[in-house]
Chains A and B, each alone.
Chain A
Amino acid sequence: FDSAKVFRVKPHKEKQVNFLKNLPSNLQIDFWYPDSALHILSEMEVDFHVSADQAKYVETLLKQNGIPYEILFQNLQEDIEKQLDNKNKS
Chain B
Amino acid sequence: TSKYHYTKYNEWHQISAWTARIAKKYPKLVSRIKIGNTFENRSMYLLKIGKQRNPKKAIFMDCGIHAREWISPAFCQWFVKEATRTYGKDGNMTNILDNMNFYVVPLFNIDGYVWSWTQNRFWRKNRSNASSSTCIGVDLNRNFDAAWGTIDASKNPCEEIYCGSSPESEPETKAVTTFIRSHLSSIKAYLTIHSYSQMLLFPYGYTYDKTPNYKELKELAREAAKAIASLYGKKYTYGTSAATIYPSSGCSDDWAYDQGIKYSFTFELRDKGKHGFLLPESEIKATCQEIMLAVKFLANYILRK
Q: Are A83 and B279 in contact (CB under 8 A)?
A: yes
* Contact flag A33-B196 (CB < 8 Å), given A39-B246, A85-B8, A88-B7: yes
Taking the complex as formed, is B277 at the interface, i.e. its CB lies under 8 A from any CB of chain A?
A: yes
Question: In chain A, what residue has the closest Cβ to B124?
Answer: A35
Q: Report the minimum CB–CB distance from B252 to chain A (whole Å).
A: 14
Within 8 A of B (CB), among A45-90: 45, 47, 49, 72-73, 76, 79-80, 82-85, 88-89
Q: How far is the CA of A30 from the CA of B280 in the complex (A)?
A: 21
Question: In chain B, what residue has the closest Cβ to A8?
Answer: B273
Number of A-B contacts (CB under 8 A): 69
Q: Are A38 and B152 in contact (CB under 8 A)?
A: yes
Taking the complex as formed, is B209 at the interface, i.e. its CB lies under 8 A from any CB of chain A?
A: no
Contacts of B274 in A (CB 8 A): 72
Question: In chain A, what residue has the closest Cβ to B279?
Answer: A83
Contacts of A32 in B (CB 8 A): 122, 196, 273, 276-277
Q: Are A88 and B281 in contact (CB under 8 A)?
A: yes
Q: Report the minimum CB–CB distance from A27 to chain B (whole Å).
A: 14
Q: Which of A30, A33, A84 contacts B273 (CB 8 A)?
A: A33
Taking the complex as formed, is A19 at the interface, i.e. its CB lies under 8 A from any CB of chain B?
A: no
Interface size class of A (residues with CB under 8 A): 20 to 34
Q: Report the minimum CB–CB distance from B212 to chain A (whole Å).
A: 27
Task: Give chain A's interface secondary structure class.
Answer: mixed
Q: Are A36 and B276 in contact (CB under 8 A)?
A: no
Q: Are A41 and B246 in contact (CB under 8 A)?
A: yes
Taking the complex as formed, is A17 at the interface, i.e. its CB lies under 8 A from any CB of chain B?
A: no
Q: Report the minimum CB–CB distance from A35 to chain B (whole Å).
A: 5
Contacts of B122 in A (CB 8 A): 30, 32, 49
* Contact flag A38-B279 (CB < 8 Å), given A84-B8, A88-B7: no
Question: In chain B, what residue has the closest Cβ to A47?
Answer: B273
Contacts A1-B121, A41-B246, A83-B281 supplied; 9 other A-B pairs, CB < 8 Å: A33-B197, A33-B276, A34-B245, A38-B154, A73-B276, A79-B278, A82-B278, A83-B279, A85-B281
Taking Cβ atoms with an 8 Å cutoff, the residues of B that contact A are: 5, 7-9, 121-122, 124, 139, 152, 154, 159-161, 196-197, 245-246, 248, 273-282
What are 9 A-B interface contacts by the 8 Å CB criterion?
Answer: A6-B276, A31-B160, A32-B122, A32-B277, A73-B276, A73-B278, A83-B279, A83-B280, A84-B9
